[in-house]
């Protein structure tokens, strides 16, 4: 499921994230990271806050710089603005609106695959594209934020913090990211099953 979800993420990322916004966010974050790098090097030479030795300060400052870049990037909105191209069944959608599916669709998102009933086919095909967009948007926002927090925690740990357990929690939240990718894979599996399922039979009224 992870590989299938990864394929969906790559396919939909350009539809959910605006490349121009992401580029501006990356450039701004890069400028901030350069300032953080220079300040970190200067202050470490003056105070030695990054740790002793030759490798530890370099690793600490590197993690601080990468963490600063990721956190600044996470502060900028990168979602594509809703427009005529973001419509499903004629209804305008926002990538951040749909993070769950209707109760009728939920059984098809479980770990074990099940065939899509004809009467649920239309609902599944309506809900899952919205769910996939929501999951991709969530991944695009959470990934830089959690990576930035993890890099900051790593910098604190490497610099010689005496209470390491306090700074381990950001690494636990990183496990949310693979779970979201797996959910993407399950949604795609259910969507493909719905496409292959027979449509619900149409009832024809007979006039006496």
40-90 pLDDT, tens per residue? 999 999 888 887 787 889 999 999 999 999 999 999 999 887 655 555 555
61 in Cβ contact with 48 (< 8 Å): no
Mean pLDDT confidence for 185-206 = 81
Q: What is the mean pLDDT of the chain?
A: 85
The whole-number pLDDT of residue 175 equals: 87
pLDDT at 22 over 90: yes
The whole-number pLDDT of residue 82 equals: 63
Taking the C-alpha atoms of residue 173 and residue 4, their distance in angstroms, rounded to an integer, is 22
Taking the C-alpha atoms of residue 61 and residue 41, their distance in angstroms, rounded to an integer, is 7
By percentage, how much of the chain surpasses pLDDT 70?
84
In the structure, what pLDDT confidence band is assigned to residue 203 with cuts at 50, 70 and 90? low
Close Cβ partners of 153 (under 8 Å, ≥ 6 residues apart) = 167, 168, 169, 170, 171
Mean pLDDT confidence for 168-174 = 82
Q: How many CB atoms lie under 10 A from the CB of residue 30? A: 14
Taking the C-alpha atoms of residue 151 and residue 159, their distance in angstroms, rounded to an integer, is 12
130 in Cβ contact with 168 (< 8 Å): no
pLDDT at 190 over 90: yes
Mean pLDDT confidence for 99-103 = 74
pLDDT at 142 over 90: yes
Close Cβ partners of 178 (under 8 Å, ≥ 6 residues apart) = 2
Higher pLDDT, 162 or 170: 170
* DSSP code for 107: G
pLDDT at 32 over 90: yes
The whole-number pLDDT of residue 206 equals: 45
* DSSP code for 204: -
Dihedral sign for Cα atoms in the order 78, 82, 84, 88: positive
Q: Give the domain ranges of the chain.
A: 2-80+92-196
């Amino acid at each position: 499921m992870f590989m299938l979800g990864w394929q969906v993420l790559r396919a939909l990322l350009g539809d959910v994230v605006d490349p121009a916004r992401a580029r501006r966010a990356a450039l701004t974050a890069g400028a901030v990271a350069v300032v953080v790098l220079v300040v970190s090097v200067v202050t470490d030479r003056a105070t030695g806050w990054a740790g002793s030795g030759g490798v530890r300060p370099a690793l600490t400052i590197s993690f601080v710089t990468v963490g600063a870049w990721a956190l600044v990037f996470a502060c900028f909105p990168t979602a594509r603005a809703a427009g005529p191209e973001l419509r499903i069944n004629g209804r305008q959608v926002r990538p951040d609106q749909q993070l769950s599916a209707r109760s009728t669709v939920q059984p098809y998102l479980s770990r074990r695959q099940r065939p899509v009933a004809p009467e649920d086919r239309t609902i599944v095909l309506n809900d899952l594209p919205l769910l996939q967009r929501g999951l991709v948007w969530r991944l695009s926002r959470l990934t830089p934020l959690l990576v930035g927090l993890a890099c900051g925690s790593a910098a604190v740990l490497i610099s010689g913090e005496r209470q390491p357990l306090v700074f381990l929690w950001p690494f636990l939240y990183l496990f949310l990211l693979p779970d979201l990718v797996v959910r993407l894979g399950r949604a795609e599996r259910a969507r493909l099953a719905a496409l292959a399922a027979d449509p619900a039979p149409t009832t024809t009224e007979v006039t006496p």
